[in-house]
Chain A
Amino acid sequence: MPRDTSKQTEPALTDVRQSLVALIKQADRAGANALLDAWAARHGYEEVFKVLLEPALIGIGESITGEKHTLAQAYVAAKVAEDMLTRAVNQPGANAYAEPEKGPVVLGNAEGDFHALGRRMVATMLRSKGWLVHDLGNDVPPEEFVDQALATGARVIGVSAMTMTTAQGIRALRQELDTRGLTGRMQLAVGGAVFLVMPGLVEEVGGDGTASNMFAAPGLFERLWQASLQAETIHA
């Protein structure tokens, strides 16, 4: 009986995970993609997300705070997730995992804010966890956020703001939601560097929650989605 050599040569899962984390921490996008492609060739892209990428991203999110090249590491982590999503969608007979199964949600930068990087990385993290994301881009007026959320059926609006001035502008979005009677039913996620260092700012601008980094964003959106459903039940 011929021996199955593929089983023999396959490295242990923990070793592959460690290699993946190390590659992302070295900001080696090509290396991380090669490792994941090799795994996908044996197990499929659904397994890549569930078994390798998600645990690695959670681990990286918990460990890179305060490290020297956090930006490069976070950027490469998001791009690797984006690369895998693209490959998964483009696979012949792409499976349901590649299709959004949660949401929709709306994302954008606060009016006057042009710092796209964080927002884009959050969008990728959400998409990698199965969320349908409508990304409205930079410098989005409050009315447009709400109009688009209503048009798409979103229960969560995510707003990114880098500075105190643009963060304070989120108050107008809070007011827009309240004025249109959407309080509770449409939840407001806020994020950006300023929220991490200014205690109380989330509440001050009327946000319903924030995440400490992009890796924690899917969990926040899950909580807020549930809060929206509960609010609707209460008011029904």
Chain B
Amino acid sequence: MTPSPESPVVLVTCSVFRAEVTHLWKTCWPHLKVPFQSSMLHMNPVKLGCRLEMVVDNELRQGRRVVLVYGECFPGMGELESRPGVARTRGGNCAEMVLGHKEYVRLLRAGAFFLLPEWAAQGDRYFRRDLGLNRDNATSLMRDSHNTLLYLDTGVAPIPEQGLQAVSRHCGLPWEILPVSLDRLRAVIEDALQRLGPLAAPD
């Protein structure tokens, strides 16, 4: 079944935004389905690509249109988002989607390494287990390009202080909290919805 301009829309969303998109969904798009995909798929971009292609194929087959709440997270994303009935949120990655391009680049140039709640909560597990970087190698690698761990506090999830301390110890970088609003994330999702066309009336 090919989706039409009036077909229902689903927000296929990276779980890194679970708390934020769940919060926005309640007030902005309660009639839309929001399937979350594990952010850990980013560890293997090929797997991430296969998973998203499968999910999108499945939604389109069932006559639904898709907004991908994702950055440019795997090389085939451009091809996937160019399919009829599919749109992706603008922005290269999750931090850029929350901060906006200008602020993202400014902070990046100043040496920030961005953390959102889900990944910060994992502490050093991501570096140790998933990347295979012990403390010495993680410290060296991170200090090559960054001087601060910047936690983006969107205000809808508790600040994972223990996790942040663990990342900080493992990577040898201090951490800071930057309060951010959800306005930009909401705006990029609204923009993607608009590019898809009119939304079907809620049931």
Provide 20 A-B residue pairs closer than 8 Å at the C-beta atoms, listed in order of the A residue.
A27-B133, A27-B134, A27-B137, A29-B136, A29-B140, A68-B132, A69-B132, A72-B131, A75-B141, A76-B137, A79-B140, A117-B141, A117-B145, A120-B144, A163-B75, A165-B78, A193-B75, A197-B75, A198-B75, A198-B76
**What is the CB-to-nearest-CB distance from A214 to chain B, in angstroms, rounded to a whole number?**
14
Cross-chain pair count, CB within 8 angstroms: 55
Contact B131 A163 (CB under 8 A): no
Whether A13 is near chain B, meaning CB under 8 Å from some CB there, is no
A208 nearest CB across to chain B (Å): 21
Other contacts beyond A29-B136, A139-B109, A164-B72: 17, CB < 8 A: A29-B137, A29-B140, A71-B133, A72-B132, A72-B137, A75-B133, A79-B140, A120-B144, A139-B105, A164-B75, A164-B77, A164-B78, A165-B72, A165-B78, A165-B92, A198-B75, A198-B76
Select one of A72, A116, A139, A164 contacting B144, CB under 8 A.
A116
Q: How many residues on B have C-beta within 8 angstroms of the other chain's C-beta atoms? A: 21
Complex interface: chain A residues within 8 A of B144 (CB): 116-117, 120
- Chain B 128-165 interface 0/1 with A at a Cβ cutoff of 8 Å (1 = within): 00011110110011001100000000000000000000
B132: contacting residue among A71, A79, A197, CB under 8 A = A71
Count contacts on A: residues with CB < 8 A to the other chain.
Answer: 23
CB atoms of A163 and B137 under 8 A apart: no
Question: B108 on the interface (CB 8 Å rule)?
Answer: yes
A75-B137 contact in complex given A116-B144, A193-B45, C-beta closer than 8 Å: yes
> Does A89 count as interface, using CB distance less than 8 angstroms?
no
- Smallest distance from the beta carbon of B17 to chain A beta carbons, Å? 19
Q: How far is the CA of A68 from the CA of B140 in the complex (A)?
A: 20
- Cα A164 to Cα B92 in complex, Å, equals 10
A34 in contact (CB, < 8 A) = no
A197 touches B76 (CB 8 A): yes
Provide the residues of chain A in CB contact with B77, threshold 8 Å.
164
What 1/0 flags go to B105-132 for Cβ under 8 Å of A?
1001100000000000000000000011
- Neighbouring A residues of B76 by C-beta, 8 Å: 197-198
B72 CB contact (under 8 Å) in A30, A76, A163: A163
Is A97 among interface residues, defined by CB-CB distance under 8 A?
A: no
Could you say which residues of chain B place their CB within 8 Å of the CB of A71? 131-133
Q: Is A73 an interface residue (CB 8 A)?
A: yes
Nearest A residue to B101 by beta-carbon distance? A112
- Whether the pair B75, A73 counts as a contact (CB closer than 8 A) is no
Bound CA span A71–B141, Å:
10
- Contact mask for chain A residues 202-215; partner B; CB cutoff 8 A; 1 contact, 0 none: 00000000000000
Contact B78–A73 (Cβ < 8 Å): no
Query: Quick one: given A193-B45, A198-B75, are A73 and B92 in contact (CB under 8 Å)?
Result: no
Residue of chain A at shortest CB distance from B77 = A164
